[in-house]
Structures are given as structure tokens and as C-alpha cells.
Amino acid sequence: MKKIVVNIGGIKIGGDNYVAIQTMCNTSTVDIEKTVQQCIDAANAGADIIRVTTQGIKEVRAMSMIKKNLHSKNIYTPLVADVHYSYKVAQEAAVIADKVRINPGNFAKDDETSYREFKNLIDICKLHGTAIRIGVNHGSLGKRITEKFGNTPIGMSEAAMEWIDMAEEFSFDQIVISLKASNTLVMYDAFKHLYNKMISRGVVYPLHLGVTEAGNGLEGRVKSAVGIASLLQEGIGDTIRVSLTENPVNEIFPAKLISSYSTPREIDSPLPSNYECSTISELAIKVACDYGPLLLKRKIDDFHISATINNSAIQKSDLKNLKDVVLQASRRKFTKPEYIACPGCGRTLFNLEKAFEEVKEKTSHLTGYNIAVMGCIVNGPGEMADADYGYVGEGAGKVSIYRGKERVFMSVPQELAVDKLLELIESDAHNRDGHLHF
């Protein structure tokens, strides 16, 4: 079997290389000072690769200046351009970035222009030593793939496979694949399907693992740990990102811990029943890495542990809460609303972290509901695939409220948006059942 190694600005991923840690700036890329500072902070925290938003040509030019500025400070952490939509932007970015991320759901393979422009992109990448990430997201698979396979893990895997085929047709192997979903089981199944397919074809490309829209706090860390550890423990995955709706620097410690703690192991390896940790976050990640994969794969139904934090026994209520969070992240028992919150990026034009906290606070009684909080109207609605309701940033200070894929309210002032979201959920419940029963 051939294992492809991809060089991203000097960091090699794939094959027997270590699992590289990634993060993404959430600053506006044209704010060069802020983005440079966030890159420095992330690099100092241990990020191996940093992504920035390049939705247009002006952001690509800003990225060029950010790169120069970082180099002048002796920081050579590879930069990835997050493009999604436009080939023109991707082609410009490929001259500057170490890797370009495109989302195949936004381009039709059978479209002649896309085919030609993808070849042009590859020619530029070959010339400049730039890698490509084929970044498939659950919820933005494109009409053709969805009609054929549904919005399913197989659809995600098949969408990626088409682009692998095309890259191979153009004799280009510097590609990394990601298949991200906010549902840990969908994410696990999609990667597993793709990995098995690559094995059967005899060529394995590096995989970028991550649970997208994982949220924040303990829930975000645990969800990421369950999804990523489930694959790393099977020897699947070459680079990871823990996406949190927080400062990107906060993503590095959990990512490093998940990676170091999730080396390949047998499914029936003995597990610790007592943990001695320094912080609740460390404990949560270790427990999620140990028990999450077994719960997700239905090898166990429950677990019992004890723990000390800094030599003091953990409170019973904290332990119970942690267990509930792990069970929910593993899709086994739902005791709280399921939140789908993107990490935000250069496309976010409002205080996403604050908005998410407000939504969580006011909807904490809605167990059984999937509620999304997304940073932009461009990608948000497509990517909140499983959400019953969504709070989607439209622009500065304006929010759209969604029921599933339907936009019910638009241009709601941000200060009224959470109440509008609640009003919609409550009126739907009332119309459905004639009474409220949260």
C-alpha cells in the first residue's frame, strides 16, 4: 500500500509522520495586525499549521503581507488559505499559501469550467509547491452528490473520492482530505468509509480529522475528543483540528492532548477507572478519549470512573456532568440540547462567542433540540446540517433565524435575536402540540 506524504510548507503529514496540530484564525484577514498577533500566539502555543480566511482577492493579498510579517519575526508556521468557493481566489492563494482549502460541494465535477479551473489550480500548486485540502463538510455536499447518495457519510466519502480521482488524473498527489461533521458518528463513519476505500485502491492520502461546529467549553472539547480519538486509535488520521467557538489558541492544548493520548490501541485494551489530573479539561479529554470511542462504536453502554483533580476528589455533581457530556458526545444519551456552533473565522462579523453563550443560557431547557449558532450566512445555513433551529450571523449586528433550512426571520437586530429564536421554537411547539412541554 502506498502512503502519500504531503509537504505543507516544510511540515510533512501522512505516512509515518507525527499528527500535526492545526488551528484557524478568527480575525478578519484584512486586519493584518490582529491576524499576525493571533498567528504568533497560535504558533507559540504549538500550532504546526495555521489557516486564515481568504474569501476574496483582498484577503489573499493581506495573507501575503501576514506571511512576510511573520517571516520577519522568524515565524515560519505554514499558512493555509481557506477559500471554499472561488477558483480565481484559490488560484491566487495557491501562489502565496502553503496549502489551499477548497470545498468540493461548491463545484460540480461534471461542470466543464470547474474541471478546467481545477486543473489550472493544480498547475499553479505544482509550480509553487502548494498542497490542496479537499475539505468536504456534512451539509454542503452539493446537489448532485446529495441526490445520488443523500446527505450521508457515504456521500461525503464519495464526494472526496471524485476529487481524488481528478487530482490523480492530473498527476497531483499533494492532497489532504477532510470530511467534517458536527455529529461524531457521521464524522467517524465518513472517514472510516473513505479510509477503507483508499486502502482497497492501494493509495492512502493524509486525512485531516475534526468535529466541526463542536461548540465550546467542556462540550466542545469532549465532542472533538470522541470523534478524533475514535479514528486515531484505529491508526486513521494525520493532522487534526479541535474547532472551538473560543480564541483559536485554546484549541492547541486539547488537540495536543488528544493526539498524544490517542495512539493506536486494541478496541478491548484495558481502560483506567481512576484518573489523576490537573484540570477538569484534562480529565474530560482523557475520559472522552478512553470511553467515547467505545460508546460511539456501541462496544459499551455505560462507564464508571473516579477521579482526583490536583489530589482532591472531584465533586460528584461534576463527575456526573462529565459523564453526561461524554455520553451525549458519543450519541448515546441526550440530557441537554445539542449545540452546533461554528468556531467563527474571518467571515464572522459579530461577537460569536458572546452570542453562543447567550443562546446556551436561554435555551438550556430545550433538551432534545439541535440548535445551531453560525458565524456567517455564506456557509452557516448549509453546514448546520442537523439543526432544528439556527441563529445565523448575517452581517454586522444582524441575525437570521432558521427553522431547519428555512429562513423564518431575517435582519433581526442582534440584541433581539435570541428572544426571536425562542419565540419561534415555542410557537412551533405550541402549534404542534397545542401546549408547551419543554
Selected from 305, 366, 373, 376, the binder of ligand SF4 by CB under 6 A is 376
Closest approach of Cβ 116 to ligand SF4, in Å?
26
Selected from 348, 363, 400, 414, the binder of ligand SF4 by CB under 6 A is 348
Nearer to ligand SF4, 189 or 383 (CB): 383
Q: Does residue 292 bind ligand SF4 (CB under 6 A)? A: no
Nearer to ligand SF4, 28 or 330 (CB): 28
What's the CA gap between 9 and 12, in Å, rounded?
A: 8
- What is the DSSP code string of 322-351? HHHHHHHHTTS---SPEEEE----TT--S-
Q: Does residue 345 bind ligand SF4 (CB under 6 A)? A: yes
Distances (CA, A) of 17 to 3, 56, 126, 260, 410: 11, 33, 22, 13, 47
Distances (CA, A) of 296 to 15, 68, 146, 265, 332: 26, 44, 25, 16, 7
Is 228:191 a contact under the CB 8 Å cutoff?
A: no
Q: Is the C-alpha dihedral spanning 180, 186, 192, 197 positive or negative?
A: negative
Which range binds ligand SF4 by CB under 6 A, 111-119, 224-232, 304-312, 338-346?
Answer: 338-346
Nearer to ligand SF4, 35 or 379 (CB): 379
What's the CA gap between 223 and 226, in Å, rounded?
A: 5
Q: Does residue 379 bind ligand SF4 (CB under 6 A)? A: yes
Q: Does residue 245 bind ligand SF4 (CB under 6 A)? A: no
Nearer to ligand SF4, 14 or 382 (CB): 382
Nearer to ligand SF4, 238 or 383 (CB): 383
Nearer to ligand SF4, 236 or 374 (CB): 374
Q: Does residue 89 bind ligand SF4 (CB under 6 A)? A: no
Considering only residues 108 to 167 of the shown chain, the ones binding ligand SF4 according to CB under 6 A are none
Closest approach of Cβ 381 to ligand SF4, in Å?
9
Which one, of 159, 111, 144, 106, lies nearest residue 379 by Cα? 106
Nearer to ligand SF4, 155 or 380 (CB): 380
266 Cβ neighbours under 8 A, 6+ residues apart? none
Closest approach of Cβ 380 to ligand SF4, in Å?
4
Closest approach of Cβ 393 to ligand SF4, in Å?
7
Phi-psi bin for 265: left (phi > 0), alpha (psi -120 to 50), beta? beta
Which one, of 65, 44, 132, 61, lies nearest residue 94 by Cα? 132
For cell 484557524, what's the residue? 24
Selected from 142, 153, 292, 343, the binder of ligand SF4 by CB under 6 A is 343
Beta strands (DSSP E) in 114-210 are: 131-137, 175-180, 203-204, 208-209
Chain residues binding ligand SF4 by CB under 6 A are 342-345, 347-348, 374-376, 378-380, 383
